Each structure stands twice: as structure tokens, then as C-alpha cells.
Structure 1
Amino acid sequence: MSARGAVPFGQALRFWLKLGFISFGGPAGQIAVMHRELVEQRRWISERRFLHALNYCMLLPGPEAQQLATYIGWLMHRSWGGIVAGALFVLPSLLLLIGLSWVYVVYGQVGWVAGLLYGIKPAVAAIVLQAVWRIGGRVLRSPRRAPWLWALAIGSFVAIALLKLPFPLVVLSALALGWLGGRVAPAQFLPAGGHGRAAADGSQHPPALIDDDTPTPQHARFTRPRLLRVLFAGAALWLLPMGVLLAWQGLQGTLPTMGLFFSKAALLTFGGAYAVLPYVYQGAVVQHGWLSGPQMIDGLALGETTPGPLIMVVAFVGFLGGWHTGVLGPEARFLGAALAACVVTWFTFLPSFIFILAGGPLVERTHGQLGFTAPLTAITAAVVGVIASLGLFFLVHIAWPVPGGPVDVAALLIAALAALALLRFKLGVIAVIAACALLGVLLKTTGLAG
């Protein structure tokens, strides 16, 4: 069955819009949501094809969950499908952050967010644990059958959680070990999944619309002219807005400076938002003075309360930079700040679309080829360990919000209830997050929270 046209474009558009509003929990939670919706429930794509696309996205700079949505949208409905899927993954978060940023600068405090954050953070930890359970259970198989993959997962966990090694180094090490393992022990690096493969609960999945053996659709096959068209369009979409900004404000203007700075940041986001935040902090706070250090921390808190990639905190940075510098004058302070947030978002996410639309056809040529999939399977195993380390990071920080202080029993209880709801009762992510957020507000307002 051809991927193109298998799902009506309108139906896919409604799903991508829904995903943009429920994609809480950082990349681990967002990937878990997409996996449940696309692989397990809707059966739009098979396990193996999903993980193959995910592995490619993990190699790229930029938000891997947004890139994965772009990839699957492109595979299903050509370039416009990818653009719509990727844009709708970001747009709700951008609009919400513009509104929250306005509330922040006008009223000067985000106290009402404290209760929401108190409940959401334990829910995020539970979502991350769910991702470890779901993805790890499919990729790692049993320790006896795949000791290499288990060693990679455990090694990456130790490297990130204990040795504090950089994420790119972990990915490159897994890539090299996967290449070696694919030649020494190829049976251990066969991709997970497959036609009619049993789910984690023992049920049998029906065939997917884009299954393991579904031929690559015509639009997703590599041709040199198509690659050149994508690269030319991407260059034009960067150069034309930048040229307009430079002609308007000059090289030292706030908006072109933001565009240049966040274009560089977009190419350095290996390892997710937390890996690039120190770079953003140094440039936005120390070098350009668009906002203060405490404001940067508040922006991260606001970013945690909204769906979409955590790197969307750059929209908050852009809004405050545009507000403080008055890019459209003092009489249009909000419009100038909103424009700056949009400029920052455009230059941050544009490279992600180019990477997917240009590289996707090359990746589609390799699914099922062990020489290529063995290194990517190794990366997926390593990512399981990375996600587990992220879960540990969240659990430690919600259990001890003040280092060395007392244990926050209430927060751990929220995390346990959220994990039970997700793993045992299979409740939806958005329902769990909403319930935990309301519980957090209740505990904070009554003084029962730690």
C-alpha cells in the first residue's frame, strides 16, 4: 500500500493539530505520545519504520520529536505534509508562550504557575518512565538475546547520569559500536518490530498502513534534482527574511542579531534543549543582555508548562528581548516583542525542516539494510539509557527540590499516581498532565506541598 493517500490529509492535519496541544513531557514524553498514537493505536506506521525515522532524527541537531513528526508527515503526504506536521508541533507552544510572556512582563511574576509546575514536573517524570518502558521493551529484547544492546543502554545511562559525558559523544560512540557490532554479531542488531508483532501487553498489532515491507512512495525516493530544490528553497527561506531584517535595521539591529544568533544555536542543539541552554544563556543574557539570568530561569519554567519542544523557551527569550529593546517603538511594545518571538522561532526551526526534507529520501533507501540499521539500532539502545537518565534526573529533583533538604513526599506521590495511571490504566497523557497540574495547584494553595 502506498503511504501517500492512505490517510486523508484532513484526518492527518487534525491529528497533527491535536499533537501540538498534547505534546508535553519533553522529547521522551512527546516520542512516547507519537509512538502510542501512530504505532499502537492508529497503525499509520510500523514499529520498525517509526524507530528507523527516530534514529535519523536523533543524529540531527534540533528537537528530535518535532523532526520525527515532520518526517512521518512528509512520508505520508509529501513535503506539505511534513511542513504541516512540523509547524503544528510548534505553533500552539509559540502562541501560548507569547501570551504567557506578556503576562510575565506586565505583572512581573509567575506565582500562579508554581502550583501547575509542582504538579506537572512529577507527571513529566512518569511520562519519561513510560517512554523507557515502551521503547526499551521493544528495542532491547532480552539480555540473553541482545547483550550488546543492553550494554549500550546501561553504558549510556552511566555516561550521562554519572560521568556527565556530552550527549553527542554518547551518540557517536553508540554509532561506532553499532557499526562494529553489525559485523561481529549482526543477529543482535536486527531492528525491533515487524509485521503483526506482539505489543507490550501481549496483544497482536494489525499491519500498519506504512508497514515494514511497504515500498517507499515515489515522492520519498532520492533524486539529485529534488535534493537541490530543497536546498535552494531552504537557503531562500533563510536569506530572504534575513535580507529584509538587515535592510530594515542594519547589521547591529536587534532582530537580525537574533536571527543570526539563533541560527547558530539551531545547529548546536545536539542532545536536546538542555544541552544548548548554556549557549543560549551566555549569548542572550551575558553577551546581548536581552534578559536577566533570573528571567531566563522563569522562561524555562514557563516552557515546561506549555506543549511543544522545550527549546521553545527561545520564544520567551525573543519576546523579552523585543520588549526591552522596543523593536517597534514604545507605543507598539507588545507587537514588537511578539514579532521578535516569531523571528527567533523561524530561525531556530527552519534548519530542522531542511534536514528532514533533504535527508529523508536518503534514509528511506536504507530501511532494512543491516549495514545502516545496525548503527542506528545501537543508537536507539543508547537513547533508552539516555531517557532513563533523564527520568532519574527528574525524580531526584522533584524528590529533593532543595539539595540536601527533606524529601518532598507529596511530589513523589504525584509521580507514582501518574505512573500508575499511564502504565497500569493506560490513561491518556493530556488527562494525566491536567489531573496532576490541578492536584499541584490544590496542594500549593492549601500549603500541603513541600
Structure 2
Amino acid sequence: MDSPSGQHSSQDIALREAFRTWLRVALYSFGGPAAQISVMHRILVDEKQWISENRFLHALNYCMLLPGPEAQQLATYIGWLLHRTLGGLMAGILFVLPGFIAILALSVLYSGFSGVGWVEALFFGLKPAVLAIVLQALFRVAGRALRNRAMYALAGLAFVAIFFFNVPFPAIIVSAALVGYLGGRLRPDLFHVIRGPEVDEPEPAAHTRPSLGRAVKVSVIFLSLWFVPLIILAGLLGPDSVYVQEGVFFSKAAVVTFGGAYAVLAYIAQQAVDVYGWLKPGEMLDGLGMAETTPGPLIQVVQFVGFMGAYRHAGALDPMTAGILASFLVTWVTFVPCFLWIFLGAPYVEALRGNQALSTALSGITAAVVGVILNLALWFGLHTLFANVQDKQLGYLHLALPEWATLDPAALALSMLAVIALFRLRWPMLRTLFSITLLGMAYRLLVG
């Protein structure tokens, strides 16, 4: 039976139907977190009506506070709401699985056939299409989150802070939460964007209520899943093994990846190139192109880094075998913490849904994240359209200055065609992606 608001009770949703829906969400999750969240909202809130707008936004804001991929964690959260732990595991794993398979295949092609012209042409055509998809997602998220001048101002300040002054993402989030909290007390008409639960929403299910016993059980299980494999590998292979090094390094990265893949891109690239020798200079952008153009979270780029690191330091193993094993390991230590954050924290977040002070603080965070996404879209655009982008520091001011002589006219033309297809012709995302990619490949193979 439906609730008065049209939202379905979770008891009415068969697990088989949920499986098909989460697989559909995963296969359509191209273009980074903004696009992925938009896809989830359209399918789960607008089409299926499995969760209300308020509850979706409440879960989203919590996931944005966490380290790791917010879209994958949001899928896990909603899956847990609907079908307990099994539903959360199903939604979270399915969200990662298509991208994992795709990036593994692309990593094999990249490492074994990087000199082949059609492989290089494939990456050339993919990047402009993804740039347009990111821009479309940015407009969609901004349209939902920025509902008044105060929200626009907060988003603008967040963009300036992170793009021009390199303010750390956690500092932006804390500041935005404080502005939202104070704004809610002084001007609730501007900041009271995310309301508490509506009176006609279903009563919370029993499994969403927090308890100390459950928290301890979840912590023990997922901390063991996270660290016991690393301890076993260290005992068998020694601490200098590439697998142990990658497992420990990406475990650290999983804790500090606030703001998604872009927020730690420079850190991971610097460590992978200069410290460990896993990547050659410039290869991180190729890996990011893989993650941008395949379904799933952008942080899946770490799988490519892990693959290439083990491929180049395979030891006694065949390089391809070493790379594949490292792909599984790096993916494991990156996403097991995501399930820990959700299954441990979600019951407490659900208990705070009616807290109005928290709601206004989260409204500030939502606006600030739009500015952060704009920063990410601009960063990706610069590195897609220009061969060289210089980073210059003038005191506290940071400038990303493209070398205009390195502008790629073909990439610009492809990007403009993709924008026209999405915004003007309203083509579906996958149709645009494949059409522009094929056009880019044809240009690269025929013209060079």
C-alpha cells in the first residue's frame, strides 16, 4: 500500500525488483557524482516513488559529509533503508560492479595495447562527451539546491575558496554548515530549505533505530573485513610487497577522500608517480578519463593506479595477473570503509531527521557542494580542452592558467556538439556519450 504522499512502503518492494532497479541505476551512472545522484533521484524519487524528496536529501547530505564516493554511499544508504543490510550491500556492490569490470578491461587494453591507434582514439573521443555530461549534471543539481540568493552566494563563495585559494574541502563543508546553522536561526526563510519529515511519511522501520549493540557488531565486522586481509598479506609477502603498499596507501586515501576523487587526485598522482613509481607522469588523467566515461564512482580511478602499479612491479607473477589481483585489492580497501560509514552512522542520522538546526546546517552544505562541483567541472574542462595547464601561486591566490596555444580545436568542437545534443536537442545521456565518442574516434583515426 502507498503512503498518503505516494511513497511506497518498503514491504511492498520485492527484493528482485530492487535488484533490477539498482542494476539499472548502476548501468546509467555515468558522468561523476552529480550525474549519478541525478539518475538516482529521477529513478527512485520521481519514477518509483520509493523514497521521499526530504528523505533523499537528508541521506544525500550525510553522504556528502563522509570520505569516499557520495553517490555509491547514497545508493547503499537508500538500499539499507528499503531492505536492511542485505539491501544496502546489494545497492552498494551493484553500483561499483559495472565500473569495476569496465575499468579492468580498459586497464588491460591500456597496459598491453597503449600504442594501438584505436585505443588512443577511444580516449580522445570519450573526454569531450563526458565534459558535457558533467556540465549538464551541474545545472541539474544547482537547479534543485540553489533556491534563493543566499544559496547562490554560498555556492559562489565555496567555488572561489576552493578554485582560487585551495581551501581544503572539509574546511569549506564545516564553514558552510556553520553559515547554514546561523542563517537558519537569523533568516529561516532563506536557509530552511530541507524540511524535517512530513507528517504523511511512513513511520521509521525498526531496523533504522540506533542501538549500541548494533554499532559494535557493525564496527567489528567491517573493520575486520578491511584490515585482516592486509595483515595476512603483510605476513605472507612482507611490508615491501606492492600489494601491501597499495593496500595501506589506498586505505589511508579512503579516509581522507572528502569531496570525491578530484579532491585527492593531486595527492594520489604525486604519491603514485614520485614516491612509488606506479604511474608515469600524465597517466593519472588517462585513468580519470576511464573513470569519467564508465559507470560507477569516479574514485574507481584508484583501481587503474593499483593495476598499473602491480603491472610494473609484478615480481614473480605475470604482469597482467599481478595487475588484476591488485585491482581487486585496491577496490576492496576503497569500498569496504564506505559500507562501514553507512551501516554504522545511518541509524543515528535517521534519528536526527526532525532536527531543524541540523536541517538548516545541511542546507548550507548542499549549496556549498554546488560550488565544489563547479570547480571540478572547470578543472576537468581545462584538462580536456588544453594540452598544457600551468598552476601558478601568487601569494594565497592559486591560478590554473591554460596555454592557449595548446587548445585542441577538435576537442572543443566535440565538446560543443555534446553540449548541443544534451541541452538543445535533449538527447539521452548514453546516446550522446556513444555518438560523440564514435565521432571523436573517427576524427582521430582519419585525421590524426
Task: With the length of structure 2 as denominator, give the TM-score of the two structures.
Answer: 0.87
1:64 matched residue in structure 2: 70
- Deviation per residue, 1:27-78 (Å, 9 max, x gap): 1222222222222222222222211111111111111111111111111111
Cα distance in 1, alignment partners of residues 85 and 285 from structure 2: 36
| Pair 137,352 (structure 1): closer, same or farther in 2 beyond 3 Å | same
Cα distance in 2, alignment partners of residues 193 and 374 from structure 1: 8
CA contact (8 A) 2:194 2:362 kept: no
Q: Alignment partner for residue 106 of structure 2, among 100, 108, 120?
A: 100
CA contact (8 A) 2:34 2:141 kept: no
Compute the RMSD of aligned alpha carbons. Answer: 2.6
CA contact (8 A) 2:179 2:364 kept: yes
Q: Alignment partner for residue 140 of structure 1, among 127, 134, 146?
A: 146
- Deviation per residue, 1:382-414 (Å, 9 max, x gap): 112222333333444444445212755554444
1:11 matched residue in structure 2: 17
Cα distance in 2, alignment partners of residues 355 and 217 from structure 1: 20
1:128 matched residue in structure 2: 134
Query: How many angstroms does 1:118 deviate by?
Result: 3.5
1:380 aligns to 2:366 (yes or no): yes
2:441 matched residue in structure 1: 441
Q: Secondary structure at the match of 2:210?
A: coil
Q: Which runs of 5+ in 2 are unaligned?
A: 389-402
| Pair 220,183 (structure 1): closer, same or farther in 2 beyond 3 Å | same
2:398 matched residue in structure 1: none
| Pair 90,396 (structure 1): closer, same or farther in 2 beyond 3 Å | same
The code of the aligned residue for 2:442 comes to L
| Pair 193,229 (structure 1): closer, same or farther in 2 beyond 3 Å | same
Cα distance in 2, alignment partners of residues 343 and 125 from structure 1: 30
Query: How many angstroms does 1:234 deviate by?
Result: 1.0
1:170-319 alignment to 2 at 5 Å?
A: 170-192=172-194, 213-319=201-307
Q: Alignment partner for residue 320 of structure 1, among 308, 324, 345?
A: 308
CA contact (8 A) 1:39 1:45 kept: yes
1:358 matched residue in structure 2: 344
1:201 matched residue in structure 2: none
Q: Secondary structure at the match of 2:152?
A: helix
CA contact (8 A) 2:209 2:351 kept: yes
Fraction of identical pairs, as percent: 46
| Pair 251,194 (structure 1): closer, same or farther in 2 beyond 3 Å | closer
- Deviation per residue, 1:400-444 (Å, 9 max, x gap): 445212755554444344344434554432222112211221232
1:349 aligns to 2:335 (yes or no): yes
CA contact (8 A) 2:103 2:294 kept: yes
Q: Alignment partner for residue 52 of structure 2, among 31, 46, 52?
A: 46
Cα distance in 1, alignment partners of residues 196 and 385 from structure 2: 39
Query: How many angstroms does 1:262 deviate by?
Result: 0.9
1:203 matched residue in structure 2: none
1:418 aligns to 2:413 (yes or no): no
2:432 matched residue in structure 1: 432
Cα distance in 1, alignment partners of residues 439 and 417 from structure 2: 11
Query: How many angstroms does 1:163 deviate by?
Result: 3.3
CA contact (8 A) 2:196 2:356 kept: no
Q: Secondary structure at the match of 1:5?
A: helix
Query: How many angstroms does 1:357 deviate by?
Result: 0.8
Q: Alignment partner for residue 335 of structure 1, among 321, 331, 334?
A: 321
2:393 matched residue in structure 1: none
| Range that drifts further, 318-327 or 379-388 | 318-327
CA contact (8 A) 1:47 1:192 kept: no
Query: How many angstroms does 1:372 deviate by?
Result: 0.8
Query: How many angstroms does 1:116 deviate by?
Result: 3.3
Cα distance in 2, alignment partners of residues 211 and 92 from structure 1: 38
| Pair 271,243 (structure 1): closer, same or farther in 2 beyond 3 Å | same
2:353 matched residue in structure 1: 367
2:158 matched residue in structure 1: 156
| Pair 32,415 (structure 1): closer, same or farther in 2 beyond 3 Å | farther
CA contact (8 A) 2:22 2:91 kept: yes
2:399 matched residue in structure 1: none
CA contact (8 A) 1:175 1:379 kept: yes
The code of the aligned residue for 1:154 comes to G
Cα distance in 1, alignment partners of residues 60 and 17 from structure 2: 23
1:392 aligns to 2:378 (yes or no): yes
CA contact (8 A) 1:49 1:212 kept: no
The code of the aligned residue for 1:247 comes to G
CA contact (8 A) 1:29 1:124 kept: no
Cα distance in 2, alignment partners of residues 211 and 431 from structure 1: 41
| Pair 50,180 (structure 1): closer, same or farther in 2 beyond 3 Å | same
The code of the aligned residue for 1:115 comes to A
| Range that drifts further, 249-258 or 358-367 | 249-258
| Pair 270,213 (structure 1): closer, same or farther in 2 beyond 3 Å | same
1:207 matched residue in structure 2: none
Q: Alignment partner for residue 26 of structure 1, among 28, 32, 53?
A: 32
Cα distance in 2, alignment partners of residues 147 and 121 from structure 1: 33
| Pair 322,342 (structure 1): closer, same or farther in 2 beyond 3 Å | same
- Deviation per residue, 1:308-341 (Å, 9 max, x gap): 22221211122122222225x24x4322321111
Cα distance in 2, alignment partners of residues 254 and 394 from structure 1: 30
Cα distance in 1, alignment partners of residues 285 and 116 from structure 2: 11
